[in-house]
Amino acid sequence: MTRPNIIFIVADDLGYADLGCYGGRDAVFGPVSPVLDGLAANGLKLTQGYSNSPVCSPTRFGMITGRYQYRLRGAAEEPINSRSRGSTTLGLPTDHPTLPSLLKASGYQTALIGKWHLGYPPAFGPLRSGYDEFFGPMSGGVDYFTHCDSTGRHDLWFGEEDKQEDGYLTDILSKRAVDYVERMAELQKKEDDAPFFLSLHYTAPHWPWETRDDAAKAPNIKNNLFDLAGGNIHVYRRMIHHMDEGIGWIMDALKKHGMADNTLVVFTSDNGGERFSDNWPLVGGKMDLTEGGIRVPWIAHWPAVIGKGGESTQLCMTMDWSATMLDAAGVAAHPDYPLDGVSLMPVLKDAKQTFRRPLHWRMNHRGQEALRDGDWKYLKVDGNEYLFNIPGDERERANLAKKEPERLAAMRADWQAWNATMPAIPEDATVSLGYSVKDMPQR
């Protein structure tokens, strides 16, 4: 079989149960995510998949390197914010091997369409870290119509040039992705071995709360993209639906050119849900190491390899999918930068296959620590320790720490031993919160 095309689709702040295939309820207009639900039904859905972090840019460091993000200084920011413009340290080092750079070196065409959020030019940027093409915003959040960041600065780029383009950003990104697939289809007609890797990193359904019909709202929220007085579940679900429609356009383009069968399409979110997300049955959300902050949808569709209707309880996190994509392409990691991610190819080939996969996290915010190993989870927040049996208590309400002190001690020691292998959190690392209990009640 020829090497697969790979499309890595990442939503922004999507909740675990926002999609119909993960138990999400229909919206007033009908199903929220029929395209993604179809990909899951005709591919593989993982129910115990996680993000590398409960906040944006740290996950993206883990995703692009296939390694724990804690190894890099820029990932200590929770998250990178607009004040880092001009920094030569707060970003992805250009000499670090990446998923796109390794694929590119092996003959893949590579492109990022959508959000970067790994540092600003001239020190950092997608074209400096393995992508042949880039179209999208550099920062963590932009208005869907003005394409300006939280400082009011225009933030839509083609390569490293500012790009003015009218329209709703989700639709713009989807149409750009369709155009890329069309161009790659033409290339593959001329060349026998010309696979492509497309990172499609939507800003949806991240704030501000705007559907494609809400252009009139943009001037009123330009100075507060957190949109603290706006939004509701209906707007939020429509934003997801717009993204889902765009993914449908891309799948249609693949099918039109006979490319769908040997294209690995992976969908996930960079972290758990935010204000209007549905994380049921999980507790917490973005910025939290409770399940709602890190458990996210993982859908894989690759008809040439993945059978229909598969569902897996395999534990995994973002960087494992980076390792999986390299494995699928037959590409080895750089010997000086061994992966922390583990390939899931055995699971893709047989959804019943599982293997032990301990997962570790830490957050500067609230001094959080977490370890998921098998059914059990160790969690520490604000100095308080917890022990949960996740299959029996997904809401993390029944703390078994006092009931099973030996297990608690063993998992604490495991986390501490892992943490000792990582650089310490820098004293000048920042935590940026968009709102607090002054703006809305706590979860």
Tell me the pLDDT band of 222, cut-offs 50, 70 and 90: confident
Residue 443: what pLDDT?
Answer: 63
Rounded Cα–Cα distance for residues 429 and 152 (Å): 24
Q: What is the dihedral of CA 113, 318, 128, 56, to 10 degrees?
A: 70
Residue 163: what pLDDT?
Answer: 92
Beta bridge pairs of residue 425: none
Task: Specify the DSSP class assigned to residue 260.
Answer: S
Mean pLDDT, all residues of the chain: 97
Rounded Cα–Cα distance for residues 64 and 90 (Å): 15
Compute the chain's Rg from CA coordinates: 20
Instruction: List the domain boundaries for the chain.
Output: 5-357, 365-419
Which CATH architecture describes the domain 365-419? 2-Layer Sandwich (3.30)
Which residue from 238, 232, 261, 243 is spatially nearest to 201, judged by alpha carbons? 243
* Mean pLDDT of the 40-47 span: 98
Class of domain 5-357: alpha beta
Tell me the pLDDT band of 108, cut-offs 50, 70 and 90: very high
Rounded Cα–Cα distance for residues 321 and 10 (Å): 12
> Tell me: the pLDDT tens digits for 270-324?
999 999 999 999 999 999 999 999 999 999 999 999 999 999 999 999 999 999 9
Proportion of the chain above pLDDT 70, given as a percent:
100
Strand duo 196-201 + 109-114: pairing: parallel
Rounded Cα–Cα distance for residues 338 and 332 (Å): 9
* DSSP H/E element including 182: helix 169-190
> Tell me: the pLDDT tens digits for 332-376?
999 999 999 999 999 999 999 999 999 999 999 999 999 999 999
> Tell me: the pLDDT tens digits for 71-86?
999 999 999 998 889 9
Residue 107: what pLDDT?
Answer: 97
**CB of 236 within 8 A of CB of 209?**
yes
